[in-house]
Amino acid sequence: MGAVARLAVAAMLVLLATLALTSASAGASIPRSSSATAASRSTQAAAKLRRTVRIGISDQKADMFSDERFGELGVRHARLAISWDAMRVSWQVAELDAWLAGARAAGVTPLLSIGHSRTKRRSLPKPAELRREFRRMRARYPWVKTFATWNEANHCGEPTCHRPQLVAAYYRQLRKECRSCTILAPELLDSPNAVKWIRAFRRQLGFTPKRWGLHNYIEANRFKTARLRKVLRALPGADIWLTETGGLVRRDNGSRTTIPEGSIHAGEVTRFIFDRVLPRNPRIKAVYVYHWNAGSRDTTWDSGLINVHGQTRSAFRVLQRVLTSGSRPTMSYRSASRKR
């Protein structure tokens, strides 16, 4: 082979090598581009979810506000259940002061859910009396603007179980006292009497409030939504706030209602709530997971995102994923019928 031919072959080899490297480089960039696109879409999905649905934590303890993990999640809503006569009892005022101070310092918008007295559980105020107590609370915490009329009003462990007419009067009084506040209609438990209770409340009130609270523990932990659909049909045009929901880890409160339990189960329930229930029910406008961390071992209920040793559970990681990447409607989950 002559010198000219050898130079031509060499040039051709260099050209082919260059083309191969260029092609490989372009091919290698495709996964990075796809990954970046997927990450961008996840971020956008999470941002859209936050804009359309309030995602918060419901917990009676103020220590979550000082937990670094709470701040890292970016949660901006929290719920506290209070007694209707809390302003009359110094230790309850002190607890409320501490919880609300923690929320305010963390930049969290509180939802206060009014309920039974903690000193005289079966006592119920007259509507005008509740309004006076509400006025005292508003005077002490004027920056709090979101309230629920009554906690689990249809629960037959509550003195309001058979008194939807009285609770309707409570709702009227709260609305009259604070026109600029967001006042939820009663928070209901997803028990068999929920729809009947709603109908009686609406008849007494004469209209359907725009926002209602629901605690869907029973169905969520059984991976079902039949009663949720019935509640939605019973409240045409109204929005639902899941002001307490979550997967049950342990329960020892004497209830005869059978609900699956376990840490793994609780994680799957949390996935079910955010990946199935929420995407399929656009009228759900708020989800408050109950609760942040497990209490002492002698407590009768544990659905905490963090265990008694301070370690995060699978439910925490699901919530973390939802807040950073959004819901995954096509994700599978472990049903209650499978071994957990």
DSSP per-residue string spanning 44-63: HHHHHHHHHSEEEEE-S-GG
What pLDDT does 164 receive?
98
Highest CATH level, class, for 45-325: alpha beta
How far is 266 from 63, CA to CA, in rounded Å? 22
How far is 79 from 55, CA to CA, in rounded Å? 11
Is 277's pLDDT higher than 70? yes
Is 170's pLDDT higher than 90? yes
- Please report where in the chains the tokens 């359907």 appear, as a residue: 208
Which CB contacts under 8 angstroms, 24+ apart, belong to 134-140?
134/173, 134/174, 134/177, 134/178, 135/177, 136/87, 137/86, 137/87, 137/112, 138/177, 138/178, 140/87, 140/93
- CA triplet 316, 317, 318: central angle to 5 degrees? 90
The number of C-alpha atoms within 13 Å of 223 and in the hemisphere containing its C-beta is 17
How far is 148 from 184, CA to CA, in rounded Å? 4
Q: Which of 140, 95, 76, 85 is nearest to 115 (CA)?
A: 85
How far is 108 from 110, CA to CA, in rounded Å? 6
Q: What is the mean pLDDT of residues 129-148?
A: 98
Residues paired with residue 82 on neighbouring β-strands, in sequence order: 114
Cβ-count burial of 317 within 10 angstroms (0-12 exposed, 13-18 middle, 19+ buried)?
A: middle
Model confidence at 337, in pLDDT bands (50, 70, 90)? very low
Q: What is the mean pLDDT of residues 155-164?
A: 96
How far is 306 from 289, CA to CA, in rounded Å? 12
Residues 2-55 pLDDT 10s:
554 555 555 555 555 555 545 444 444 445 566 667 667 778 878 888 888 999
- Structure tokens of 97? 């002061």
Q: What is the DSSP secondary structure assignment for residue 274, as one 8-state letter?
A: I
For residues 228 and 214, the answer to whether their CB atoms sit within 8 Å is yes
What pLDDT does 186 receive?
98
**Which residue type occupies 241?**
W
Residues 220-249 pLDDT 10s:
999 999 999 999 999 999 999 999 999 999
For residues 293 and 64, the answer to whether their CB atoms sit within 8 Å is yes
How far is 16 from 318, CA to CA, in rounded Å? 49
Q: What residues does each domain of the chain span? A: 45-325
* pTM for this prediction: 0.87
